[in-house]
Structures are given as structure tokens and as C-alpha cells.
Amino acid sequence: MRTGTQKHSKNVLVVGGGASGLIAAIAAARQGAKVTLIEKNRQAGKKLLMTGNGRCNFTNKNQELRYYRSSNPELIGPVLEAFPMEETVAFFEELGILVKDRGGYLYPNSGQAASIAGVLRLEVQRLSIKEAYNTEVLAVGKQKGYFQAECEGWTYEGDALVLACGSKAAPAAGASGDGYRFARSFGHTVVRPLPALTGLYASEKDCKTLAGVRTDARVTLLTDGKVCAVEEGEVQFASYGLSGIPVFQISRFASRTLDEGGTCEVRLDVCPALTGQKLLQILSEENRRKHTDMRKNTDILLGMFPEKLSQVLLGRAGISGKKKGQEWTREELERLVGQMKELTFQITGSRGYEQAQVCTGGVPLKELKGISMESAAIPGLYLAGELLDVDGACGGYNLQWAWSSGYLAGIHAAGGSR
Ligand SMILES: Cc1cc2nc3c(=O)[nH]c(=O)nc-3n(C[C@H](O)[C@H](O)[C@H](O)COP(=O)(O)OP(=O)(O)OC[C@H]3O[C@@H](n4cnc5c(N)ncnc54)[C@H](O)[C@@H]3O)c2cc1C
């Protein structure tokens, strides 16, 4: 049931009007706090509009903890239990969102991310939260028991301060990394933020040939020669390297390894449904070899892969020129199958913050007082969302983290508890 504004008890400042800041402000105001939401963009929720390709995959029914990553993940489970997916759904349904379930991935039925941002903004207005938009916070501090958020020409004061400034990912939506600076100014540490859920640069020249090709693949990331992560899905090749959801999913590991001076290699199995043995059998079939009599050597792979991918597979297998069906040796076919099962790319970097959906890294969860999201060092300071050292997989997990952590920060900042 929607709670109205009760007697004002606390003055709560929320810095950052993204997903976590909006829900923190709403939760605090519903507790009866007098809330000021400070956002440097002209409107709150700008990044929300970009989410899920404009459709906003706002949570996921499958809430296994393995979809959330952190350098000290112990607090993630308790936070997600204290404001779980079911409660997130109920929260949005109450605000008017009709939920569409696409295989467990939840979206607003309108198919528009603007609906999620819209209902949050309406609730902010209904609760008479002070909207200080177009207002950049330059510095934060605490003096004589009160928090200050210093802006150009004005300083806001409050009994409690929620930092919900997000990360450095997607600067077009307002991300600046200011939150890290603010947290540090209170004595917090920051696990070095790096781009995640993004494409990866590869050094192989044949990426240019492959640009634009999409294919289903099993993607194995090897860091310093050891298997680090395995994902399956549609890989999109680009002139710079590799993209697509399975590549996004492994990118946080690649970012961190490369930043620490390690090596990264991606191996693609472009035919994961079939064993190497089976592929060899298919390529050896009389019928398939007939195709190659007079035409291009890629004809042996006709119907199996996009033409450009076939060219690269053959090139990497060292098979060039026209070949008649009978001229394929067993060794050549084995080399070709080898490439299908392990098409390898040396990863040289991840695409920058501009292209990243989130950052890995942030303020460590161990610096918080449990699910209150309150700073262990500074009473009255609360942290939420992507500013913290938690990054989720693609699929609604980053927003669920923003909703859960933001809601808890807001409730506790206002003097309530869970
Ligand atoms: C293209 C794209 C698609 C995505 N799709 C999905 C998806 O479908 N599902 C999903 O779960 N996640 C998705 N994400 C990730 C998700 O959007 C974020 O994890 C989430 O929005 C983080 O919320 P937040 O409140 O922590 O930060 P943000 O939403 O980034 O909000 C932080 C806010 O703080 C403001 N701010 C920063 N510094 C200051 C300052 N100094 N003064 C005042 N204001 C300041 C910023 O302007 C910003 O509005 C996507 C991200 C991108 C970029």
C-alpha cells in the first residue's frame, strides 16, 4: 500500500537522480522525511531511458547470486533479500506499471523505458520531494552534525546524505565518477572502476572481414592462460573486435585482468551444438564435397556459417585458393574443424566508459553497516547503486541492485529500518 507523507522527521539529501537515487528519495519520503533530490541533468532518470534498448529490463525473475559480482560479495544476498525482486515488481505495479515477462526478463508492458522513469517522477512529485534538477553537486561534507551538498551558488543541508551518483559508465547520461570523489572525501576507499558490459578490442586483422557478422557461439575467456568465464549466445563481430551479450558478460573479467597487466584470450566455438567428430563427419560427406567442384572453397561450409565467417575459418586453417571436393585432405578438414571449435582472439582492451553499460568496481560493501547501506565510518551517510562495488550480469540485475540498495538507503536515511 502506498504510504503518504507523514510528519517530517529528518531532512534527507539525495545526490543523483538515477534509478537508485529516485527510489531512495521515494522510500525516504514515504517514511516521512523531507527529501531533496539533487540531479545535475535537466530531469531525473536519464540513464533509465537508455536501458534495455529503450525498453528497460528493470529486473529478472531468476535472482541467483551468481548474476551479481563484487570483490566482497557477502552483503549482496542480504540486500537483495531485504528488498527483493518480488517487492520491486509490487512497487512498480503499484505505481501503474503493467509488467511484461519475457522468459523471466521483466519489462514494462508499454515496451518503453520512459514508463519506468515516468512513474518514478510522478511519485516524486506526489510526495512533494524537492526536485533540485540542473544542479551539479561540486562537493559534499559534514559539519556540526549536518551534511552539506555544495552546488554553484547554493549549499543544501541535511541530517542524512544518500550518495547515489552512479559510476563512470555512459557519461552521456550524466555519469562522471563524482560519487567516487565524494565517497573518498569521507574516507571511503574505491575499488578501481573499470568498464563492464561492453565490447572487447581484439588484435586480429580479420576482424575487419568479420565486421557485421552475427553468429551463435560458446565464448570462453582465458585470463593468463586459464579459463575464467564461459558464456553462450549471439556474438556480433565488429571491425574493432567482439561484441554481443555473451561478450558483454565476460567483459568485466577482461577489463580487470588487462588493467592488472594480465593477458586475455577469447576462444569462440562457432558450432557449440555439434562435436568436432560430428563436424568432421559432415564435412567429409560426399554431397557436401560435390558443391566445391568448380566454385569457391567456402562452398564446403555453405549453409553452415555466414560467408565472411567461412572465409576467416578457412583463412585461419591455412586453406586458400579454389579446391575441388576430392582435393580436401583429412588434415585440412581437421584444421578447419579446429578453427570452428576454437576461433581465437587476443583481447587488447575493453571499449571505454562511453560504450559500457556499467562499471565493475566502486566503494567496497565491507565499508557499509550491513543492509542499512549506511557508511560504517560516517553515521548518516548512505551509499547506493552502481557507486558501490557491485556489477550485475545483463538481464535486469544492475537495475535490481539499484532498486534494492536505493530503497534500503532511503528507508534507513529517513530513520526507518528493515
Ligand atoms: C545503455 C545502457 C543500457 C542498460 N540497460 C540495462 C537494463 O536493461 N537492465 C539493467 O538492469 N541495467 C541496465 N543498465 C545499467 C543500469 O542502467 C545502471 O546500472 C543503473 O541505472 C545505475 O543506477 P544508479 O542510480 O546507480 O546510477 P545512474 O542511473 O547513473 O544515476 C546517477 C545519477 O547521478 C547524477 N550525478 C552524478 N554526479 C552528480 C553530481 N555531481 N551532481 C548531481 N548529480 C550527479 C547523474 O547525472 C545520474 O543521473 C544499462 C545501462 C546502459 C548505459
Q: What is the pLDDT of residues 208-262, one digit of tens each?
A: 999 999 999 999 999 999 999 999 999 999 999 999 999 999 999 999 999 999 9
Rg (CA), the chain: 25
Cβ(37) – ligand 1 distance below 6 Å: no
Q: Does the structure show a pLDDT above 80 at 324?
A: no
Cα–Cα distance measured from residue 188 to residue 183, given in angstroms and rounded to the nearest whole number: 5
Cα–Cα distance measured from residue 265 to residue 223, given in angstroms and rounded to the nearest whole number: 7
Q: For 105-119, 158-172, 291-305, 367-381, which range has the lowest pLDDT when averaged over its residues? A: 291-305
- Calculate how far, in angstroms, residue 409's C-alpha sits from the geometric centre of ligand 1: 16
Which of the pair, 5 or 13, is modelled with greater confidence?
A: 13
Residue 298 near residue 307, CB atoms below 8 Å: yes
- Give me the domains of the chain, ranges plus CATH numbers: 11-195+358-413 (3.50.50.60), 199-351 (no CATH)
Q: For 231-235, 248-252, 274-278, 323-327, which range has the lowest pLDDT when averaged over its residues? A: 323-327
Nearest alpha carbon, ligand 1 atom 9: 396
Nearest alpha carbon, ligand 1 atom 5: 51
Ligand 1 pocket: which of 23, 48, 51 to mutate (most atoms within 8 A of CB): 51
- Buried-state track 325-360, b at ≥16 Cβ within 10 A, e below 16: beebeeebbebbbbbbbebebebbbbbebebbbbbb
Residue 313 near residue 301, CB atoms below 8 Å: yes
Ligand 1 pocket: which of 42, 383, 398 to mutate (most atoms within 8 A of CB): 398
**What pLDDT score does 3 carry?**
44
- Calculate how far, in angstroms, residue 213's C-alpha sits from the geometric centre of ligand 1: 30
Full-model pTM: 0.95
CB 244: neighbour CB atoms within 10 A? 20
- Calculate how far, in angstroms, residue 17's C-alpha sits from the geometric centre of ligand 1: 9
Cell numbers 579459463 label which residue?
227
CB 399: neighbour CB atoms within 10 A? 29
C-alpha cell at 332: 585440412
Nearest to 69 by CA among 228, 277, 235, 200: 228
**What pLDDT score does 291 carry?**
63
Q: Does the structure show a pLDDT above 50 at 4?
A: no
Instruction: Say what angle helices 397-413 and 19-30 make with each other, to 10 degrees.
Output: 30
Atom nearest to 46 CA in ligand 1: 49
Across 56-176, where does the E strand assignment appear?
59-60, 68-69, 99-102, 105-108, 130-132, 137-143, 146-151, 154-158, 160-163
- Calculate how far, in angstroms, residue 22's C-alpha sits from the geometric centre of ligand 1: 11
Nearest alpha carbon, ligand 1 atom 19: 398
Rounded to the nearest integer, the mean pLDDT of the chain is: 94
Atom nearest to 136 CA in ligand 1: 42
Nearest to 335 by CA among 380, 289, 283: 283
Atom nearest to 137 CA in ligand 1: 42
Nearest to 97 by CA among 55, 41, 43: 55
**What pLDDT score does 418 carry?**
87
